Amino acid sequence: MSEPSFEEDQRELEAIVERLERGDVELEELAQLWERGELLCRRLAAELERAQGKIEELGRQLDVSPLDREK
């Protein structure tokens, strides 16, 4: 089984947040949902950091000084 996509994790986290905001969960389930939400949040944040690093690296690779452009 493959890892869920970023979007799938995000949808699951949003569903968890909605349930927690409604307040219709028992204490034991609340603890489980909170724990799962934290895991998803950490995973999503790590994925965003990796993407940001890739974008910054691409930006550095594409960054050409104005003097280099004139040549």
| pLDDT class of 69 with cuts at 50, 70, 90 | low
pTM for the full predicted model = 0.76
d(C-alpha 46, C-alpha 9), whole Å: 12
d(C-alpha 23, C-alpha 51), whole Å: 34
d(C-alpha 8, C-alpha 29), whole Å: 21
Average pLDDT over residues 20-41: 95
- Do 33 and 19 meet the contact criterion of CB atoms below 8 Å apart? yes
How open is the CA angle 30-35-37, to the nearest 5 degrees? 90
| pLDDT class of 65 with cuts at 50, 70, 90 | low
